[in-house]
Chain A
Amino acid sequence: MASGVVAGKQGHSALTGLAFAPDKGRARTTGQPAATRTTAHNQNGNRPGMSLALIAALPFLGALLPGLMIRAGRTACAVSTGAVTALALLLLGLNAPAVLRGEVVQTRIEWLPQLGLNANFMLDGLGLLFAGLILGIGLLIILYARFYLAKADPMGQFYTYLMLFQGAMLGIVLSDNILLLLVFWELTSLSSFLLIGYWKHLPEGRQGARMALTVTGAGGLALIGGMLILGNIAGSYDLSVILTQKVAIQSSDWYLPALLLILLGCFTKSAQFPFHFWLPHAMAAPTPVSAYLHSATMVKAGLFLMARLWPVLAGTPEWFYIVATTGLVTMLLGAKIALFKHDLKALLAFSTVSQLGLITMLLGFGTKAAATVAVFHIINHATFKAALFMTAGIVDHEAHTRDIRRLGGLRVLMPVTFAIATLAALSMAGIPPLNGFLSKELMLEEAAHTVWWQNPWLVGVLATIGALFSVAYSFRFVAHVFLGPMRDDYPHRPHDPGFGLWAAPALLAGLVVLIGLAPMATAAWLVDAAAGAVTGAAVEVKISHWHGLEPAALWMSLAAIGGGLMLLGLFAPLSRLWEGTPRPEAKRIFDGLVEPLATLSRRITDALHDGAVTRYFAIATLAILAAGVWAFVSGTHQQGDHALTPVALVPAAGWALLMVTTCAIVALHRQRLLVLILVGVVGLMVSVGFAYLSAPDLALTQISVEVATVILLLLALNYLPKTTPAESGGARRLRDGVIATLAGLGAGGLIYALMTRDFAFDTIAAYHLANAKTEGGGTNVVNVILVDFRGYDTFGEITVLGIAALVIYALTESILRPGPANDRLRLWKAESQDAGDRHPLMLVVATRLILPLAIMVGVFIFLRGHNLPGGGFIAGLVVAIALVMQYMASGFEWTAARQKIDYHALIASGVLVAAATGIGAWFNGLPFMTSAYGYVTLWPLETFELATAALFDLGVFLTVLGAVMLSLASLSRIALRAGETVNLAPYDIDPAAGRTVKEEAR
């Protein structure tokens, strides 16, 4: 982990390895080391800081808390979640002074440097602004949600999703690497899906979540393409490098594709026209989610990215016409629809769309002044919109409806809510002296000076109309909900909620007033820092309420307020007109587009993936075969030059046996017991083959696996049909036979080709042979590979083995639930009468005698494993077989009652022992799974070796033992359900007593 100055070279050199034809040459020549950068970012020098990665990681760590803390109560859950967010906020605050001085805080962690993907974080003014919004408003949302969510809602889940989302958002705004940013970008799409669909029982919630995921996810795909192009042009995936490459990027042929793709990502995320439709549907989420996602976070991510890349992407005609026009259209469209929505949250949703359009338009103007205004409005919008969403939630919570037509006159019943909502709404309308007025006037000023396609007044007029509509819907929010006569038909008689619910919006309303009254003291410094980061130049804003009578903005503002009030006055006839005109229904269009795509993909998937194993095998085999044939045909081929060895008699006999057995299996495959015996023959022949070819470890493993498998399969076969029904016709069998033959010939040909020539590269075997003793401390290379060189693989394998055993257990569990499989088991009839002595005395006695011997063999094989054939895996199987024999001799229940260790615990302890051994290396400052060994002399024994690898092998041993025993236990449970009886004594007939023990027990 390295902190400090950006190393542009590294990303650069990593990138030149990637072939990206059109710009490859340019990427090489333009990738400049960071030292020559000229933006504001490093004029003041960079500042190392480790805390950024921690800030981004904290919410993810905090996501683990709610699930645990919910057991301590809802308040404890909320407090613990809030504490994590507050801690992250505190860490951010510690970095703030440096950022406000103009420094850039950075944390660099190497992740996959070969791909240019590093976990690099940076904090500049823009990042500080957004991170502050995300954490600050996040804290308020956590408080608000504590009181908003009903008792029936799973609160722990909510906070977990919220924290995941918060972490993803923080990651976006703190990333210095665009690939890392993309990872977090996708994470926001996924976590917002969980949040929007939080009320799983509501179809609107599920559909809204799906729509949001589809739209933002599709945009995310486009963004990935755009970002990769951008990184290739700039020669680095590090933002701090990319931001210095304005000339190179804008003169590149790939500028326009990159711009379009990136903007697709931004517009879908920020709900810009024509992708605005998902946002209102996301309103099916609980209000805290809407307040968080649609005021300060999710939809602002698109704006953030446009602002982030503003220095290198903005300033071209393409940027202006695409971004500014889209913003303008979105602003007008959103504002118009918002006015006519009757659902409080839908009104706010479309107003959000409109306000986002406004900010997009400002960024699109491409001037530094406009970008500064955009930053200022981002702050203001976050404050008043979060407050508005929360008050809408309060109204919904108290009056049990969000339909404006059913509300009105709440002023008297809910005075506190009324006050908060009015302040926030007036700010949204742009009424002085609130903060919304300040930024809106600045916006109108910018719009008035913007020329669109040689038309000097178009943008100004349209922006004024947009502002006019926003005045109208803001006033409607207040007038139609809170003003007017009190009604007596509310679904629920509303009153002001407790302090906990209105504290958060009240605080935000306070900010609205505070920023409005004293913008220079409360917000200007933050705007300076953020706008400086966006524009790449030092910014000092002057925000004031009165600019004199000269500026056009004053008159535009007045026109907007006057027009807006008139519009609201004419609301009733206008609304009737609106309802009467047909308009495209976004959801229907969306569904119409998605439905056929879903059908198509389902058809393809179903065709390839129909649940029949034979089809998967056929597809996989044919695909591999085709790849092999293609490789063979397209390449050149030479006959191998190794001389063939003569065939000796013994291996030829073994080979013939294998062939005959395989053919017999194909011919007799319907008779399951017979096939099992034949499979056993194959297994034994394979292990003999291993022994013949000097692989005693493999032979031992194979033979013990074979024995355990055959025993378990025999037990399972007892409750299965004895023959396999004929399911496939002749054509199908012919097809499968042809595929199998071709694949067999292919594999045989490949092996022949490999064995008749030298390997293209040196094999790793020589390394293993040379280093097994010196590095792994063992002379049995196979075992050293398993527990040391490839110990991590083995660890994965025993984990998989443990999971497989648990799956067997889980499948048994599901079979034993009421259902067809359970019914079949209950009706199962044994083919013949039970034997009188199912547990004969001789077998019982012999297995008891063998048990200590077998365990001794197991211990022997285990201990010598490191230096001679053996090891934990084989030892585990040997001991397992010895134990299985006890169970077979005396019956499962009788034996199980005499063993004290749970099989699940056995598996878990095995995996944990192996993991702990691997982790132990960390304490010596070595990588995971590094093994150590030493020699110990313990009188009267000879000097012997102690290796940590043996502990690891113990983990393997325990897991194998547990897995076999758990499978046996599962089979036994099935047997009990099928009517198997349980004996109370170790054997059925005691010859000495002259009568059956069972009778005695009864």
Chain B
Amino acid sequence: MPLIAEIAISVLLVVAGLFGLVGSYGLLRLPDAMTRLHAPTKATTVGVGGVLLASMLYFAVNGSVSWHELLIALFLFLTAPITANLVAKAHMHREMSQGELPDSDTGRVWATFERPGAPIAPVLTSAAPVESAKS
């Protein structure tokens, strides 16, 4: 393996490790849920991404190009923001009220505080037998 590749892989791994460490430390030390969200979503995404890049590079230099890492990265970039979004929503719903939050800039309350009004009757499908309908 050429030295330059070794250096690149090492740097990637070290950076990834650092980001991982910082992310974990942040998760531990940041004061409340909303700020804590930043640590894992941002830092560990870069951390894992660094490891993936290092892995791709390593195998490419060794003669077998591997695409799995791209797929992993894709999954990660799809799921991490959604997870953060859901955690934030859950936190808002359970721990906060509309008054504590800034204006949503839509002329409406935050989504989680929307009142849907009267419940809608279930739509019955083949998978849900008739007697399971709420009377």
A interface residues (Cβ-Cβ under 8 A, vs B): 816, 832, 834-837, 840, 842-843, 846, 849-850, 853, 857, 892-894, 896-897, 899, 902-903, 969, 972-973, 976-977, 979-984, 988-989, 991, 994, 996, 998-999, 1001-1002
Stretch at the interface among B20-28, B52-60, B105-113: B105-113
Assess the A976–B79 pair: CB atoms within 8 A.
no
Are A846 and B79 CB-contacts (below 8 A) given A837-B111, A996-B114?
yes
Chain B residues within 8 Å of A832, by CB? 93-94
Assess the B114–A836 pair: CB atoms within 8 A.
yes
Assess the B78–A849 pair: CB atoms within 8 A.
yes
The residue from B71, B112, B119, B128 contacting A973, defined by CB atoms under 8 A apart: B128
The residue from B75, B110, B120 contacting A998, defined by CB atoms under 8 A apart: B120
The residue from A849, A893, A996 contacting B122, defined by CB atoms under 8 A apart: A893
Q: How far is the CB of B90 from chain A (nearest CB, A)?
A: 8
Assess the B116–A996 pair: CB atoms within 8 A.
yes
Q: In whole angstroms, what is the CA distance A989 to B106 when docked?
A: 13
Q: What is the predominant secondary structure among interface residues of chain B facing chain A?
A: loop
Assess the A976–B133 pair: CB atoms within 8 A.
yes
Chain B residues within 8 Å of A837, by CB? 89, 111-112, 114
Assess the B85–A981 pair: CB atoms within 8 A.
no
Chain B residues within 8 Å of A999, by CB? 116-117
Chain B residues within 8 Å of A984, by CB? 120, 123
Q: How far is the CB of A811 from chain B (nearest CB, A)?
A: 14
Beyond the given A837-B111, A843-B85, A976-B134, please list 13 additional residue pairs across the A-B interface where CB-CB is below 8 A.
A816-B132, A835-B93, A837-B112, A846-B79, A853-B71, A899-B127, A973-B132, A989-B114, A991-B106, A994-B106, A994-B108, A998-B120, A1002-B120
Q: In whole angstroms, what is the CA distance A989 to B117 when docked?
A: 13
Assess the B89–A983 pair: CB atoms within 8 A.
no
Q: In whole angstroms, what is the CA distance A980 to B119 when docked?
A: 9
Assess the A840–B127 pair: CB atoms within 8 A.
no
The residue from B79, B86, B109, B129 contacting A840, defined by CB atoms under 8 A apart: B86
The residue from A850, A899, A980, A1002 contacting B78, defined by CB atoms under 8 A apart: A850
Q: In whole angstroms, what is the CA distance A715 to B19 when docked?
A: 34
B interface residues (Cβ-Cβ under 8 A, vs A): 71, 74-75, 78-79, 81-82, 85-86, 89, 93-94, 106, 108-117, 119-129, 131-134
Going nearest first, the 5 A-B pairs with the smallest beta carbon separation are A836-B114, A981-B119, A982-B122, A896-B127, A837-B111
Assess the A981–B120 pair: CB atoms within 8 A.
yes
Chain A residues within 8 Å of B127, by CB? 892-893, 896-897, 899, 902-903, 969, 972
Assess the B116–A998 pair: CB atoms within 8 A.
yes
Assess the A836–B120 pair: CB atoms within 8 A.
no
Q: Could you jot down 23 A-B contacts, CB within 8 Å?
A: A832-B94, A836-B114, A837-B89, A837-B111, A843-B85, A849-B78, A850-B75, A892-B127, A893-B122, A893-B125, A894-B123, A896-B125, A896-B126, A902-B126, A976-B132, A976-B133, A977-B134, A979-B134, A981-B120, A983-B120, A998-B116, A998-B117, A1001-B120
Assess the B125–A897 pair: CB atoms within 8 A.
yes
Assess the A893–B128 pair: CB atoms within 8 A.
yes
Q: In whole angstroms, what is the CA distance A977 to B131 when docked?
A: 9
Q: In whole angstroms, what is the CA distance A910 to B121 when docked?
A: 35
Chain B residues within 8 Å of A853, by CB? 71, 74-75
Chain A residues within 8 Å of B89, by CB? 835, 837, 840
Q: Which residue of A lies closest to B90 (CB)?
A: A835
Q: How far is the CB of B104 from chain A (nearest CB, A)?
A: 11
Q: In whole angstroms, what is the CA distance A984 to B108 when docked?
A: 22
Q: Which residue of A lies closest to B82 (CB)?
A: A846
Q: How far is the CB of B59 from chain A (nearest CB, A)?
A: 16
Chain B residues within 8 Å of A969, by CB? 127-128
Q: How far is the CB of B86 from chain A (nearest CB, A)?
A: 6
Chain A residues within 8 Å of B115, by CB? 836
Q: How far is the CB of A941 from chain B (nearest CB, A)?
A: 18
Assess the A836–B116 pair: CB atoms within 8 A.
yes
Q: Which residue of A lies closest to B133 (CB)?
A: A976
Assess the B122–A977 pair: CB atoms within 8 A.
no
Are A846 and B78 CB-contacts (below 8 A) given A893-B122, A897-B123?
yes
Q: In whole angstroms, what is the CA distance A836 to B117 when docked?
A: 10
Assess the B116–A893 pair: CB atoms within 8 A.
no
Q: How far is the CB of B7 from chain A (nearest CB, A)?
A: 25
Chain A residues within 8 Å of B120, by CB? 981-984, 998, 1001-1002
The residue from B78, B111, B128 contacting A989, defined by CB atoms under 8 A apart: B111
Question: Which of A896, A903, A969 has the largest number of chain B CB atoms within 10 A?
Answer: A896
Q: How far is the CB of A287 from chain B (nearest CB, A)?
A: 44
Are A840 and B111 CB-contacts (below 8 A) given A896-B125, A973-B132, A998-B116?
yes
Assess the A834–B134 pair: CB atoms within 8 A.
no
Q: How far is the CB of B119 from chain A (nearest CB, A)?
A: 4
Chain B residues within 8 Å of A840, by CB? 85-86, 89, 111
The residue from A816, A892, A899, A982 contacting B121, defined by CB atoms under 8 A apart: A982
Q: In whole angstroms, what is the CA distance A981 to B122 when docked?
A: 6
Assess the A843–B116 pair: CB atoms within 8 A.
no
Chain A residues within 8 Å of B119, by CB? 979, 981
Assess the B133–A842 pair: CB atoms within 8 A.
no
Assess the A843–B111 pair: CB atoms within 8 A.
no
Q: In whole angstroms, what is the CA distance A891 to B57 when docked?
A: 42
Assess the B128–A976 pair: CB atoms within 8 A.
yes
Chain B residues within 8 Å of A835, by CB? 89, 93, 111-112
Chain B residues within 8 Å of A836, by CB? 109-116
Q: In whole angstroms, what is the CA distance A805 to B115 when docked?
A: 37
Q: In whole angstroms, what is the CA distance A692 to B109 when docked?
A: 50
The residue from B79, B123, B129 contacting A893, defined by CB atoms under 8 A apart: B123
Q: In whole angstroms, what is the CA distance A327 to B4 when docked?
A: 105
Q: In whole angstroms, what is the CA distance A671 to B133 when docked?
A: 31
Q: In whole angstroms, what is the CA distance A894 to B127 when docked?
A: 11
Q: Which residue of B lies closest to A968 (CB)?
A: B127
Assess the A982–B123 pair: CB atoms within 8 A.
yes
Q: How far is the CB of A950 from chain B (nearest CB, A)?
A: 22
Chain B residues within 8 Å of A979, by CB? 119, 134
Chain B residues within 8 Å of A989, by CB? 111, 114
Q: In whole angstroms, what is the CA distance A996 to B108 when docked?
A: 11
Q: In whole angstroms, what is the CA distance A869 to B121 when docked?
A: 46
Q: In whole angstroms, what is the CA distance A999 to B106 when docked?
A: 18
Q: How far is the CB of B76 from chain A (nearest CB, A)?
A: 11
Q: In whole angstroms, what is the CA distance A969 to B127 when docked?
A: 7
Q: How far is the CB of A833 from chain B (nearest CB, A)?
A: 8
Chain A residues within 8 Å of B82, by CB? 842-843, 846
Q: In whole angstroms, what is the CA distance A903 to B127 when docked?
A: 8
Chain A residues within 8 Å of B131, by CB? 816
Chain B residues within 8 Å of A849, by CB? 78
Chain A residues within 8 Å of B126, by CB? 896, 902
Chain B residues within 8 Å of A846, by CB? 78-79, 82
Assess the B85–A972 pair: CB atoms within 8 A.
no
Q: In whole angstroms, what is the CA distance A938 to B74 when docked?
A: 31
Q: In whole angstroms, what is the CA distance A853 to B76 when docked?
A: 12
Q: How far is the CB of B46 from chain A (nearest CB, A)?
A: 20
Q: In whole angstroms, what is the CA distance A982 to B114 when docked?
A: 16
Chain B residues within 8 Å of A897, by CB? 123, 125, 127
Q: Which residue of A lies closest to B118 (CB)?
A: A1002
The residue from B94, B106, B116, B121 contacting A834, defined by CB atoms under 8 A apart: B116
Q: In whole angstroms, what is the CA distance A994 to B108 when docked?
A: 9
Q: In whole angstroms, what is the CA distance A899 to B114 when docked?
A: 30
Q: In whole angstroms, what is the CA distance A903 to B126 when docked?
A: 11
Assess the A976–B122 pair: CB atoms within 8 A.
yes
Q: How far is the CB of B135 from chain A (nearest CB, A)?
A: 9
Q: How far is the CB of B17 from chain A (nearest CB, A)?
A: 14
Q: How far is the CB of A881 from chain B (nearest CB, A)?
A: 12
Q: Which residue of A lies closest to B117 (CB)?
A: A999
Chain B residues within 8 Å of A980, by CB? 134
Q: How far is the CB of A896 from chain B (nearest CB, A)?
A: 4
Chain A residues within 8 Å of B133, by CB? 976
Assess the A896–B79 pair: CB atoms within 8 A.
no
Assess the B128–A896 pair: CB atoms within 8 A.
yes
Q: Which residue of A lies closest to B92 (CB)?
A: A835
Q: In whole angstroms, what is the CA distance A897 to B112 when docked?
A: 26
Q: In whole angstroms, what is the CA distance A988 to B123 when docked?
A: 15
